[in-house]
Amino acid sequence: MTDTTALAAMREDDGLDLNIESWLDEHWSPDISVAEWWTRLSADGLALPTAPPPHGRGWSRSRASELASAMVSRGALGPPSGIGMMLAAPTLLAHGTPTLIDRYVPKILSGQHGWCQLFSEPGAGSDLAGLQTRAERDGDEWVVSGQKVWTSMGQWADYGILIARTDPDAPKHRGITYFAFPMKQDGVEVRPLREMTGRALFNEVFIDEARVPHDHVIGDVGDGWRVANTTLMFERNSIGGEDVAAPSGALAGTIAGHLQRPAGSFANDAPALGGGMVGPGRVKQLIHLAEGNGSIHDATNRQDLARLHTLLQITGWHVGRMKSGNAATRSEGNLMKLRNSDITRLAREVSCRILGAGAMLTGPNSPSGGSAQEFTLFSPAPAIYGGSDQVQRNIIGERGLGLPKEPGPDRNTPFSELPKNG
């Protein structure tokens, strides 16, 4: 057997026999650096255990949940989070050359590189294929100019997954190329966008004749739309609830400065992406709050808490069906993302009802310690980012149900002849 085959076989066996508690006893210490802890996780395939060997262990969602629960119970820092783990690594594994995979994926899994997503533009959000950022070939490099917006974690990114127009005379969906783009260079300016939560998760990025090597192309030149759709599928699945990992307050990459801090120093830090996610922990928090102030006796609150629990359970089953290859439509990720929007809105409404007037107070001394209040402010975002609910319904209608597309120019019309977004 080759080394890779042997490692894959070993990890498949260990997926059944590895004692999670014993592994954590041996490897976790709050005194080691974040970099060392993430290196230990990635070296044993536990940074992303649901990934196939050699990068993960091919574990099921339930097995990965066991690891996450064990890490939470002892206060262990979760694995690297963010765009690298959620989007860049899966896309590279699906479309990257062996050289690109070897160059980038291990450093994503060990948190050495932070990544961002350079997709949306001021005039190309819902119509992403209408993007106008251009890349022109110059020998062994491409010269990129344009503007991106809503770039999550761009201020801390070493690299970005970038789509740019390389052939304006090709039809809109065919003249796009996908790059692994170095962020730390002249010609790249990142401006954080402050949200009403007080955080600055999103950014706008200005690119002025920045350069990216030709061997950083992911997929083929001009075939970036197909690769981008793979990324969007992973994004919708992740937003819909596919990822299972212990929370992490540390940021990956060389810019945030977290790698050399003690891993245990993040024990009381909020997750780096903020408190906008809804999972079983959120439901338990709301039940505890309702029991504490007596609002659990309100039948409407009990009914909505039960509905919230039910929707999360359905999401878990949905993910399991997808993992088993028994997906029923071509729009599973879109359906999951729509359900996540429903879950977020429901969690917001029931949390505000439970807190009453306390929902208008913020800070550590407010009810819920400010967690439910920050979530309420964040709650409109999931229905917008990763493709709005309206976009998801269009995709479900066209791809899942076979409904006719909305009228528009012929798909073979060169991009240069199309009217541009305002």
Q: What is the distance between the alpha carbons of residues 4 and 98, in angstroms, rounded to a whole number?
A: 13
Is the peptide bond preceding residue 404 cis, with omega within 30 degrees of 0? no
What is the tens place of the pLDDT at every residue in 359-413? 998 888 888 888 888 889 889 988 888 888 998 899 899 888 889 988 888 888 9
User: Does the active-site annotation cover 235?
Assistant: yes
Distances (CA, A) of 246 to 46, 58, 145, 265: 11, 18, 38, 15
> Given a cut of 90, is residue 65 above it in pLDDT?
no
Residue where the block lists tokens 């949390």: 351
Indicate the helix (H) or strand (E) that contains 339: helix 332-355
Q: What is the mean pLDDT of residues 197-216?
A: 94
Crossing angle for the helix pair 299-323 and 280-293, to the nearest 10 degrees? 170
The closest of 213, 222, 153, 218 to 185, measured between CA atoms, is 213
Asked whether 144 and 205 are in contact (CB, 8 A), the reply is: no
- Compute the distance between CA of residue 115 and CA of residue 92 in angstroms, rounded to an integer: 12
The answer to whether residues 312 and 279 touch, using CB atoms and an 8 Å cutoff, is yes
56 alpha-carbon distance from chain centroid: 18
Give the three-class secondary structure for 321: helix
Question: Mean pLDDT across the chain, nearest whole number?
Answer: 88
Q: What are the angstrom distances between the C-alpha of 100 and each of 5, 15, 73, 147, 258? A: 20, 27, 36, 25, 25
pLDDT over 90 for what percent of the chain? 60
Q: Give the amino acid at 178.
A: Y
Distance CA 269, CA 260 (A): 16
- Could you write out the DSSP letters of every residue in 96-138? --HHHHHHHHHHHHTTSS-EEEE--BTTBSSSGGG---EEEEE
How far is 375 from 381, CA to CA, in rounded Å?
10
- Per-residue model confidence as pLDDT tens digits over 228-273: 999 988 887 776 555 567 888 899 999 999 999 999 998 766 555 5
Q: What is the mean pLDDT of residues 105-124?
A: 95
**pLDDT value at position 334?**
86
Q: Is 134 exposed, middle or buried (0-12, 13-18, 19+ CB in 10 A)?
A: middle
Q: What is the mean pLDDT of residues 101-106?
A: 96
Does position 11 have pLDDT exceeding 70, yes or no? no
DSSP secondary structure letter of residue 217: B
pLDDT exceeds 70 at position 2: no
Lowest mean pLDDT among 209-218, 272-281, 334-343: 272-281
DSSP character for 177? E
- pLDDT at residue 77, as a whole number: 93
Catalytic residue selected from 121, 204, 235, 332: 235
Query: Over 50: is that where the pLDDT of 12 sits?
Result: no
Cβ neighbours for 253, distance < 8 A, ≥ 6 positions apart: 84, 111, 112, 113, 114, 115, 156, 157, 158, 259
Burial (CB < 10 A; 0-12, 13-18, 19+), residue 89, is buried
For the segment 351-367, what is each residue's pLDDT rounded down to a tens digit? 999 999 999 988 888 88
